[in-house]
Structure 1
Amino acid sequence: MPKAGIIYNDVKPVACRTAQEIKDQLIDSGWEVCLATGVGGILGYSSPHSPVCHAPIDRLNPPGFDYDMKFAIVLGGDGTVLSAFRQVAPYGIPLLTVNTGHMGFLTESYLNQLPQALEAVLAEEYQIEERSMLAVQLYREHDLLWEALCLNEVVIHREPLTSMCHFEVEIGRHAPVDIAADGIIVSTPTGSTAYSLSAGGPVITPGVPVLQLVPICPHSLASRALVFANSEPVTIFPANTTSLVMIVDGNGGSYVLPDDRVRIQRSPHTARFIRLRPPEFFHVLREKLGWGLPHIAKPTSVELP
């Protein structure tokens, strides 16, 4: 018996109702179905002196979600999609993402298109688009204190009411660099349209094998966004006396104390999106963010008096 999964946002009644409807439909078609909410992929926050409050990267999968699962359907917004990939990426489960939220930048389909989308998936009429993810780890001396799987970005920034931060950043084998700023962002191409875009970073198409580092409000005209190969691991050392805060995918994170270090590298796990048509990134940019839309009326030819 083939197996499918459904991950849904349980605070949205429409997602709860649709999840049950899809489950019943798949069971009637001879499928085994596992249901889970997006809560299992929520990272949570640690306290400054007790950061070990997380599950290892490969232990967030819901019951029944394993290598035998053919696909899973996600019902929610971008936050639910990010949470779902943290739960299933280690098992390579492809996700059909259905928007029940607002922006839905990461979603493939809408609720009113779900019957046709599900029909195409069951007929295996789709493509898989793989997006790179990051493994984020916080170390204190030699001890691993906190880790997470990341699809969009890692942000390390100052706490409220504290002064500017200083960072020492090592990228691969290259010489370390010093950055003075309110914080720094390390993002994937998928995350280039999220926080790093608002901080002045470039948009990067998903298939480019790079990462980018973007300082937040840097105190130097020379500190600008840097794009580098995603084969290069990044190690960040705080170079100030106050604690910092690390946020992963805008969801949860950990405090970073002065003697800690954060290591960020490309994960062996990828986010596998089910695409019902060939991926068209520029269309998504235009539809969701208004990129490339004409915003100045073209002059018409008129005769001057």
Structure 2
Amino acid sequence: MPKAGVIYNDAKPIAYRVAREVEAYLQEHGWEVHLATGVGGILGYSQPNSPVCHTPIDRLNPPGFDEKMSFAVVLGGDGTVLSAFRQVAPWGIPLLTINTGHMGFLTEAYLGNLPPMLAQVMAGNYEIEARSMLTVQVLREEVLLWEALCLNEMVLHREPLTSMCHFEIEIGRHAPVDIAADGIIISTPTGSTAYSLSSGGPVITPGVPVLQLVPICPHSLASRALVFADTEPVTIFPANPNRLVMVVDGNAGCYVLPEDRVRSQRSCYDAKFIRLQPPEFFRILREKLGWGLPHTAKPSSVELP
């Protein structure tokens, strides 16, 4: 019997209702179905008295989700998609992402035509778009304290009410650089339309094998976004006496102390998106972010005084 999964945002009643409808539809067509919520992919925030909240990357999969699962349906917004990939990427499970949220930049479709879309996926009539992910680790000497998978970005920044920070950064075997800023973003191409875009970084099309480093509010005109090959690991050493806060994909993180270091590199796991039609990134940019919309000229009949 083929196996599928459903991951839904349990904070939204519509997502739960549709999840049960999808479960029933797949079971009627002879599929074994497992349900899970997006909560399992939220890694949790540490506390000042317990700076590390650590769950290994390969232990986040919900019960029944493994390499034998053909696909899973995600019902929610972008946050649920990010959480779902942390749960299933190590098992290579492709996701059909259905938007029940607001922006839905990472989702494939809306709820309107769900039964035909499920039939198309069950028939295997779709493409897989693989997008790179990051493995982020916090180490003290050689001891691994914390790790996470992320699809968008990792952010290392100062705590509120503290001063600007210095970061010593090594990219691959290149000479280290020192950046003074409020924080540092390491982003994948998928994440280039998220926090890094708001911080002045460039938009990168998903298939380009690169990562980017974006300083947050740098104290230098020379400290600007840097794009580099995703074969290069990045190590960040906090060069200041205060602890820092690290956040992954906007929903989980830990404290980073002065004696720690943060290492980011392209993960061996990819996020596999199910595409029901050939992906068109520029169309999504136009529809979701307004990129490339034509300018409307002023009427030529207007007479100046």
- Short-chain TM bin: over 0.9
Consecutive unaligned residues of structure 1, counting only runs of 5 or more, are: none
Q: Take 2:27 and 2:115, find their aligned partners in 1: how far apart are those partners?
A: 15
Instruction: Say whether 1:208 aligns with 2:208.
Output: yes
- Look up the equivalent residue of 1:90 and give its one-letter code: P
Asked if the contact 1:48/1:254 (under 8 Å) is kept, the reply is: no
1:11-26 matched pairs, under 5 angstroms: 11-26=11-26
**How far has the Cα of 1:37 moved from its partner?**
0.3
2:234 paired residue number: 234
Q: Take 2:160 and 2:112, find their aligned partners in 1: how far apart are those partners?
A: 43
Q: Take 2:255 and 2:96, find their aligned partners in 1: how far apart are those partners?
A: 34
**How far has the Cα of 1:304 moved from its partner?**
9.4
**How far has the Cα of 1:298 moved from its partner?**
5.1
SS of 1:112 mapped into structure 2:
helix
Q: TM-score, normalised by structure 1?
A: 0.97
1:250 paired residue number: 250
* 1:253-274 CA distance string (max 9 Å, x none): 0101111100000000000000
2:129 paired residue number: 129
- Look up the equivalent residue of 2:172 and give its one-letter code: G
Instruction: Say whether 1:39 aligns with 2:36.
Output: no
Q: TM-score, normalised by structure 2?
A: 0.97
**How far has the Cα of 1:214 moved from its partner?**
0.3
**How far has the Cα of 1:59 moved from its partner?**
0.5
Question: CA RMSD of the aligned region, Å?
Answer: 1.4
Percent of aligned pairs with the same amino acid:
79
- Look up the equivalent residue of 1:242 and give its one-letter code: N
Q: Take 1:200 and 1:8, find their aligned partners in 2: how far apart are those partners?
A: 32
SS of 1:69 mapped into structure 2:
coil
**How far has the Cα of 1:13 moved from its partner?**
0.6
Q: Take 1:161 and 1:106, find their aligned partners in 2: how far apart are those partners?
A: 34
SS of 2:70 mapped into structure 1:
strand
1:1-305 matched pairs, under 5 angstroms: 1-297=1-297, 299-300=299-300
SS of 2:117 mapped into structure 1:
helix
Consecutive unaligned residues of structure 2, counting only runs of 5 or more, are: none
* 1:25-67 CA distance string (max 9 Å, x none): 1111110000000000001111245334221001000000001
Asked if the contact 2:53/2:254 (under 8 Å) is kept, the reply is: no
Change (3 A) 1:237 1:115: same
Asked if the contact 2:210/2:228 (under 8 Å) is kept, the reply is: yes
**How far has the Cα of 1:117 moved from its partner?**
1.2
Q: Take 1:223 and 1:299, find their aligned partners in 2: how far apart are those partners?
A: 43
* 1:193-243 CA distance string (max 9 Å, x none): 000000000000000000000000000000000000000000000000111
Q: Take 2:139 and 2:61, find their aligned partners in 1: how far apart are those partners?
A: 24
**How far has the Cα of 1:142 moved from its partner?**
1.6
